[in-house]
Amino acid sequence: MIEAVAGLLKDRSRVMAVMGSVDVGQAHSRLKVAAAAGALLETAMASQQIEVLARLVKRIAVRKESIGIEVRVASIWSAEVATSDEDEEIALIEVPVQLKRCGMAVRLIVRPAGESATRGVDAKLVALISKAHDWFERLSSGRCDSVQAIAQEEQIASSSYVTRVIYLAFLAPDIVQAIVRGEQPVELTADRLIRMGPLPVAWEDQRALLGMSG
C-alpha cells in the first residue's frame, strides 16, 4: 500500500487531476508538497509512515479483484485529518489482486518432494493481518488518535507492539492473498512475522524477505 500511495503522490499528472482549479503558484506549491510526502513514505521510519498514511488514507476496501485505497485529497496538502465526511473529495487508487475464498481452519498440505512447503491456512496469521487493517482503520478514521490510544483500548502494555502490528497493513496485496489462501512458506508464522519488526517499504523487498518472491 505504501508503494501505491507514494506512486500517486509523486505522479504529477494524477496530482494535478485531483487538485482542482488553483493558480499557477498554488499548483506548483501543492505539487512540491505531494512529491515530498511521497518521498517521505518511501524513506521514513515505520512510525512516520503510519502517521502519514493515517492522515491520508480514509478507507481500504478489499474486493474480489482489487484493493481500493481511498485517499483524502485535502490531506495531501494539509497536515490535518478531515473531521467531517461531508463533501470530502477522495482520490481512489485501485491495486489489482486475485483473491480466492477458503476456509479459516488450519489444514495440512502434503506436497510432492521438491516443491516448497506451505502451511495451509493459518487462522492466527490471517487474524493478525485482519487486526493490522482494523487498527490502521482506527487511526486513519480518527477513532483513535495514537497507537498509545489503541494499546489502551486493547489493554496492551507495549505501544511498540501496536506499531509493529499496524505496519502489517502495508504488506503487498499478493502476500496478503497468499496468506489468505494458505500458500505462505511453512516457517512464516504470526509470531515470527511480529518479531521481524517493520518490514521493507518496497513490495519486492517484502517478498524476498518473507520467501514469497515466486
Residue 135 has pLDDT above 90, yes or no: yes
Of the ranges 70-74, 100-104, 134-138, which one carries the lowest mean pLDDT score? 100-104
Under the banding of pLDDT at 50, 70 and 90, the label for residue 211 is confident
Q: What is the pLDDT of residue 12?
A: 84
- Stretch 35-56: mean pLDDT, rounded? 86
Exposed e or buried b for every residue in 9-25, given b needs 16+ CB within 10 A?
A: bbeeeebeebbeeeeee
Q: What is the DSSP letter of 42?
A: H
Contact in structure between 162 and 170 (CB atoms under 8 Å): no
Q: If you search the block for the grid coordinates 512458506, which residue do you land on?
A: 185
Residue 118 has pLDDT above 60, yes or no: no
Rounded CA-CA distance 13/129 in Å is 33
Q: If you search the block for the grid coordinates 489502551, which residue do you land on?
A: 152
Q: Taking each helix axis from N to C terminus, what angle separates 2-10 and 24-43, rounded to the nearest 10 degrees?
A: 150
Of the ranges 96-100, 168-172, 207-211, which one carries the lowest mean pLDDT score? 96-100
SS3 assignment for 156-201? CCCHHHHHHHHHHHHCCHHHHHHHHHCCCECCCCHHHHHHCCCCCC
pTM: 0.53
SS3 of residue 60 by DSSP: strand
Residue 1 has pLDDT above 80, yes or no: no
